[in-house]
Amino acid sequence: MKCVKCNGNAVINIRRANAAFCKEHFNEYFTEQTLKSIKQFRMFRKTDKIMVCVSGGKDSLVLWHVLHNLGCDVTGMYIDLGINGYSDRSKEKVTAFADKFGLKTIIVDLREKGYPIPFVARRAKREDCAVCGTIKRYYFNRAAYDGGFDVVATGHNLDDEASRLLANIMHWNDEYMDNTYPVLPAGGKMLKKKVKPLVRLTERETAAFAILNGIDYVMEECPMSKGATSLIFKEALSTIEDKMAGTEIFFYTKFLERVKDKDRSKTDSDEMKICQTCGMESFMDKCTFCRLVEKVK
């Protein structure tokens, strides 16, 4: 297998692009695909202050690395979810990575806050992943606002977004379809714009980028996500892609084309209220987060 750019030995084959690359040209391809999404969806400007949500997994660490290499002003934001073992190992990967490349980090520890996910879920009698989503969203929004960031970037990749789109179509969840768009606009005065620069790259490619560039990441999945239905849609999509290379990116990019002119400006700031408990913007007098953690007190 030869690199299509330099004819040297290829380290990876990308069937949907009908190409194979050596390490150097794969890195180039990876960065170009990221830049293409950033430009096409006007994710941010060179001078913007970017916060990257990191979990210790490959996608978020790779995104952090790529944005840093592009010369962006980027800070990693990590939330220790308080899941014994898994959280300790993922935090180790994040801090080791930040030290290795000399990067700025914000860390929130839910054990210190008194809200470790398994505890809150048990006390509130709600599903772990739902509780985790609410709490993570809250602290990410809060850190982005408090830190004066312009934009929040997440490591969602093509497989994440295409499989979520597939799941939403199969359930005809029209109202959630938009969540798979690569840019989610700012809301009110406090909620920052969210962007997903890796939407053109697959999980296999982010893993390859991590390994080739010495990025050590936590390989295990979150133990609480076992049996998540999202994995079934990912597997289905992977089976289809395996038989018909290029179908996944076609499916996702055609969706983006169809909805590109839709008005995504969220709720007007005057419709937003201020949470009486924590002072963050909310649709109600008390925000979802404050209503949730009230149950554990």
Q: Tokens for 145? A: 């606002």
From the list 265, 262, 55, 17, the residue with the least C-alpha distance to 160 is 55
Question: What is the closest distance, in whole angstroms, from the C-beta atom of residue 278 to Zn ion in the complex?
Answer: 3
- For Zn ion, the closer of residues 39 and 297 by Cβ is 297
User: Do 127 and 202 form a contact (C-beta atoms < 8 A)?
Assistant: no
Question: For binding to Zn ion (CB under 5 A), which residues are involved?
Answer: 3, 5-6, 8, 22, 25, 275, 277-278, 287, 290
Question: What is the closest distance, in whole angstroms, from the C-beta atom of residue 103 to Zn ion in the complex?
Answer: 28
- For Zn ion, the closer of residues 266 and 291 by Cβ is 291
Q: Is 156 annotated as a binding residue?
A: no
Q: Is 222 annotated as a binding residue?
A: no
User: Do 159 and 240 form a contact (C-beta atoms < 8 A)?
Assistant: no
- For Zn ion, the closer of residues 5 and 204 by Cβ is 5
Which distant-in-sequence residues (6+ apart) come within 8 Å of 271 by Cβ? 283
Question: What is the closest distance, in whole angstroms, from the C-beta atom of residue 9 to Zn ion in the complex?
Answer: 9
Question: What is the closest distance, in whole angstroms, from the C-beta atom of residue 59 to Zn ion in the complex?
Answer: 24
Q: Is 3 annotated as a binding residue?
A: yes
Q: Is 278 annotated as a binding residue?
A: yes
- For Zn ion, the closer of residues 97 and 139 by Cβ is 139
- Residue 6, classed as helix, strand or coil, is coil
Q: Is 132 annotated as a binding residue?
A: no
- For Zn ion, the closer of residues 9 and 173 by Cβ is 9
Strand runs (DSSP E) across the chain, as ranges?
12-14, 19-21, 49-54, 73-80, 104-109, 151-153, 183-184, 193-195, 273-274, 281-282
Q: Is 287 annotated as a binding residue?
A: yes
Question: What is the closest distance, in whole angstroms, from the C-beta atom of residue 28 to Zn ion in the complex?
Answer: 8
Rounded-to-integer distance, Cα 140 and Cα 149, Å = 11
- For Zn ion, the closer of residues 8 and 214 by Cβ is 8
Q: Is 290 annotated as a binding residue?
A: yes
Question: What is the closest distance, in whole angstroms, from the C-beta atom of residue 268 to Zn ion in the complex?
Answer: 20
Question: What DSSP letter does each residue of 131-197 carry, written as one string?
Answer: HHHHHHHHHHHHHHHHTT-SEEE----HHHHHHHHHHHHHTT-GGGGGGGSSEE--BTTTBPEEE-T
Q: Residue 282 pairs with which residues in a beta bridge? A: 273
Annotated binding site for Zn(2+): 3, 6, 22, 25, 275, 278, 287, 290
Binding residues: 3, 6, 22, 25, 275, 278, 287, 290
